[in-house]
Amino acid sequence: METGNQFASETNLSIIISSDNSSAVPVTAGGAVQELQSALQSISNQAGLQCAERLFPKLFYTSSVEEATQVIDSYEMKTNSKFIVYKESKFFGQNEPLHVMACQKRGLDGAKNKVVHRIVWEDRETSLAQYEPIPYDGVPYMQLGRKIYDCHLGVLREKPKRNSSKRPRKPQKSRKVGCTARISLREIHKFPEFQIVKGQESDYYRSLKSKEIRRAILKQKAIGDGRIYVSLPHLGS
């Protein structure tokens, strides 16, 4: 992976790349995605995977599902691959206000008075081997939903239908070859206003900040910002 300045100068994109390979790459709104697509179209086939490796960091985020989808489409085009939706949260990418997404109705009046999503300080989802870890920066966040794409040549997940006929049938050939490549999207809402600094990283301070966030959400205050974090597979997958 190239360093931040080299990457920016070579691709001329409005994307901030950290020199730390573990950091997420923010893909800023609209223009950067269009520039990325233009850059991909101009890359020769000979330089294909090498350039794609620089253009597609393993972890980045966008401000909307639409922008994330555009980059995934470009990734499929450049790597000659195809991904299909395997799993998706019910309300993923609905663009609802935070208090609607994060709370549930309680009581006879139907008021939303309980925050049901957990406030997270460190990414522990990587134990599922589905995501690149979101780097720790002291900013708490909520995961509101997720969407997972599998390679269309991956494992066959549909159960075979039971054949009611007693007559044996010739088994059908499958195009599945066991490809393990996967693209994962996570809908994250971060709260930079409640970031903890060095010296305040104890459970006590985290608990205080978490309570403040819950109170602010229940009061329907406009806090934090929404992001779609995208984990791309290794190009050799």
The pLDDT value recorded for residue 63 is 92
| 129 vs 220, more confident | 220
- 75-117 pLDDT per residue, tens: 888 888 899 999 998 888 888 888 888 886 554 444 557 788 8
pTM for the model: 0.71
The closest of 168, 149, 172 to 160, measured between CA atoms, is 172
| 154 touches 102 (CB < 8 A) | no
Mean pLDDT of 108-135: 73
One-letter amino acid for residue 91 of the chain: F
The pLDDT value recorded for residue 167 is 63
**Tokens read off for 108:** 């006879």
Mean pLDDT of 197-218: 92
Say if strands 182-190 and 25-26 run parallel, antiparallel, or are unpaired: unpaired
Q: Is the pLDDT of residue 233 over 90?
A: no
| 144 touches 189 (CB < 8 A) | yes
Overall residue count recorded for the chain in this entry: 237
| 83 touches 180 (CB < 8 A) | no
| 33 touches 62 (CB < 8 A) | yes
- 26-71 pLDDT per residue, tens: 654 444 555 555 555 554 444 555 555 566 778 889 999 999 999 8
Whole-angstrom distance, CA of residue 92 vs CA of residue 101: 10
Looking at the DSSP bridge assignments, the partners of residue 142 are 119, 189
Q: Is the pLDDT of residue 216 over 80?
A: yes
Range name among 6-10, 145-149, 232-236 with the lowest pLDDT average? 6-10
